[in-house]
Structure 1
Amino acid sequence: MDMELLKYIILPLFGAFAGFINTMAGGGSFLTTPLLIFTGLDPTIANGTNRLGIFIQSVFGFNKFRTMGYFPVKMAKVSFLPSIAGALLGSYLATVIAEDAFRKYLAFFMVIMTLVTFFKPVSDKKLEDIETTPSTVALLSVLYFLMGIYSGFIQAGVGFLILACCVMSGLDYIRGNSIKMFMNITTAVFSLAVFIYHGKVVWLDGILLGGGMALGAIISVKFSIKAGNVFVKRFVSATVIVFAVLLLITG
C-alpha cells in the first residue's frame, strides 16, 4: 500500500496508542516523532508536526479532566510562571550541551524522580482540601522551575517530570495528569507557533495524528479515573523505566 494512503490508517491508530500512554504517564513523543519520520517526514518537520498532535491531544485530555472535576486550578496557577522561567533557562543550556548528553541526563532524572514518587504514599486529599500554603507555593515554584529547565532541553519526556513535580507537591497522580495536560497546552501554543512560522508543520499529518491522540487521551482519562491512583502510579513507574532505557540505548 502507498505510504500516502497508509498514513491515514497508521497515524490515527498509533496516535491513539501514544495518546493513551502520554495522558496517563508520558513519553508519547518517543513513539510519535519516529512514526512521522517513518512516514517520510524530515526530522525537523516531524518534530513540528508532532507538536500539533500533542496540542490537540492535550486540549481534549485537559477538557475531559476539567469536566470530570479533576483540575486543581490554584495549583496550576502557582506552577505556570516558574516552569516558563525554567524553560527559558533550559533552552539556553540546550545550546551549550550536546544532545546525547542531556538525553542521558534526562533518563537519569526520570528514574530518580520516579523512585522518589514511587515511595511517596499516594495522596488521598480531595480537591477542596488542597491548600496553596506559602511552603507549598515555594516547593511548587522550585520543582516546576527545575521541570521547566528540562522541558527546555527536550520536549519528549517532560510529561514524566511534570507529573513527578505534581506528586511531590502533594497531588495525586490523576490530578497531576490534569495539570500536565494544562501545561502541555500552554507550552505547545508557543512552540507550535514557531514551527508554523517556519513552515515546519504538515497540517494533514498533524491532524490525523492528533485525532488519534485525542481519542486515546479521552479513553485514558476515563480509564485512569476508574482504575484509580495506585494503578496509575504503577503504570507510570513501568513506563518511565522503559523509556529511560530506550533513551540510554538510542542516546
Structure 2
Amino acid sequence: MEFVLTPAIALLLFATGTAAGFVDSIAGGGGLVALPMLLSVGMPPQIALGTNKLQGSFGTFSAALNYIQKGEVTLKEAAVGIAATFAGAGTGAWTIQHMEGGFLKGLIPILLLGVLIYTLASPDFGDAQRRPKLPAPLFYTLCGLLLGFYDGFFGPGTGSFWTTAMVLFLGFSMTRAAGYTRVMNFTSNIVALSVFIALGNVVWTAGLVMAAGQIIGARTGSSLAIKNGSKLIKPIFVTVVFLTTARLVYQSYF
C-alpha cells in the first residue's frame, strides 16, 4: 500500500503529533501514540519507524528547550551525558543493522515491570531533590553509553529508564529528571534518525506535519510538568510505563 498524504490524513497526523508531544514531554512514551497512527495510514514498518523518529525529534527538542529555559536543565551539567548517549546510540544503531534485536523483546518488559512496581511501592518517589548516590560524571557516562546504545538498538521504554535512573542515582525530583531525560532522548533520537535518513526510510511531508503538532504539544506538556511537578508527572509516568510494558508483552508472547 503506497502512502499518500491527503488533507484529511495531514490533519489527523497533526493532531496525533500534538497528543504524542504532550505525553512524551511529561513522561515519555509518545511513540505509543504516534507509531500506531503512522502504521494505520499505510506506511510500511521501517518507514513508519523512521518517520516517527523525525517527528519525535522535534517534540523532544521543543520540550528540552522549555526545560532549559525554565531553569530545570543545565546543558553544562548534561554535557557528559549528551556525549556518552551520542556514542552509545551510534553504536546501537550500527549494531542493529548487523544483528537481530528480538532477544530484547522478552527482557525489556520484565525490567519495565520492575520500574512500575518500584514506583508504585515508593509513595515519595521523585517528589523532592535528594542526595545523589553516584557522582554525576560517572552516572552520565555509564547510563549514557548503556541507554544510548539501547535506544539506538531497540528503543521502547528508554525515557522511563532514564527518568527512574536519575531519580534513584542522582536524587533528582521527577520534574528535573523529566527535563534531563528529554535532553538525552533528543540526543539518541537524532543519531537514530540519521540512520533512517541514510537508508531512505523517512516520509518528510508526513513527519514535518506531525512535527508541527509535536512542537505545540511538547511545549504545552513540559510547561504543565514544570508548573505541577510530580503530582502531574508521576501518574502519567506510571500509565506510560504500564502501557509500554503491556505492548511489549503482547508483541513478545502473543
Length-normalised TM-score, structure 2:
0.84
Please state if 1:26 is matched with 2:28. Answer: yes
Across the aligned residues of Structure 1 and Structure 2, the Cα RMSD in angstroms comes to 2.7
Please state if 1:124 is matched with 2:128. Answer: yes
TM-aligned CA distance change 1:87 to 1:239, over 3 Å: same
Within a 5 Å distance, the mapping from 1:156-175 to structure 2 comes to: 156-168=156-168, 169-175=170-176
Mapped partners of 1:134, 1:33: distance in 2: 35
Aligned length: 245
Match of 1:182 in 2: 183
Q: Contact conserved, 2:16 with 2:213, CA < 8 A, in 1?
A: yes
SS of alignment partner, residue 70 of structure 1? coil
Letter in 1 for 2:65: N
Mapped partners of 2:241, 2:167: distance in 1: 15
Q: Deviations over 1:55-77 (max 9, x none)?
A: 11112111111111111334412
Mapped partners of 1:33, 1:222: distance in 2: 24
Please state if 1:243 is matched with 2:247. Answer: no
Segment drifting more, 36-45 vs 115-124:
115-124
Which of structure 1's runs of 4+ aligned residues deviate more than 6 A? none
TM-aligned CA distance change 1:193 to 1:146, over 3 Å: closer
TM-aligned CA distance change 1:117 to 1:72, over 3 Å: farther
TM-aligned CA distance change 1:188 to 1:92, over 3 Å: closer
Choose the corresponding residue for 1:54, options 43, 53, 56.
56
Deviation of 1:150 (Å): 2.3
Length-normalised TM-score, structure 1:
0.85
Mapped partners of 2:76, 2:171: distance in 1: 13
Deviation of 1:136 (Å): 3.8
Segment drifting more, 223-232 vs 52-61:
223-232
Mapped partners of 2:116, 2:77: distance in 1: 21
Match of 1:69 in 2: 71
TM-aligned CA distance change 1:153 to 1:72, over 3 Å: same
TM-aligned CA distance change 1:113 to 1:90, over 3 Å: farther
Mapped partners of 2:111, 2:152: distance in 1: 15
Q: Deviations over 1:136-170 (max 9, x none)?
A: 43344333433234213312321111212221221
Deviation of 1:231 (Å): 2.9
Letter in 1 for 2:128: D
Mapped partners of 2:139, 2:193: distance in 1: 30
Identity %: 24
Structure 1, unpaired ranges of 5+: none
Mapped partners of 2:248, 2:32: distance in 1: 9
TM-aligned CA distance change 1:154 to 1:110, over 3 Å: same
Mapped partners of 2:42, 2:134: distance in 1: 50
Mapped partners of 2:119, 2:144: distance in 1: 15
Deviation of 1:50 (Å): 1.0
Mapped partners of 2:135, 2:211: distance in 1: 38
SS of alignment partner, residue 200 of structure 1? coil
